[in-house]
Amino acid sequence: MAIGVYFSGQSLTAERYAEVIRQLEAAGAPSPRGRLYHAAFGDPNDLQVFDVWDSQADFEAFGAVLMPILTKSGATPAEPQIAPIHNIIQP
């Protein structure tokens, strides 16, 4: 079952976000297995992130790569809000 994962309050600036993306690319994980959708949005001084994942297992596997990178970047990893996806509408 697909899940939605929402992160807020991470001290994630646009600059830190760009650095995290660069490090994920360097680690070979810019598009992790099972992530169907990714969006970063909001105030450039405090971005929020929303992802849709195929499964909880895929999300957790990516966390093993992401969390050390987030910590190294100076972001404060927040506890995500996770919920089952009811419906996705694509154009």
Confidence of residue 16 (pLDDT cuts 50, 70, 90): very high
pTM of the model: 0.90
Instruction: Give the DSSP H/E element, type plus range, for residue 84.
Output: strand 81-84
DSSP assignment of 3-71: EEEEE--S---HHHHHHHHHHHHHTT-SS-TTEEEEEEES-TTS-EEEEEES-HHHHHHHHHHHHHHHH
The CATH class of the 3-84 domain is alpha beta
Confidence of residue 86 (pLDDT cuts 50, 70, 90): very high
The mean pLDDT of the chain is 94
Structure tokens at 21: 């993306």
pLDDT score for 66: 93
Structure tokens at 43: 């105030």
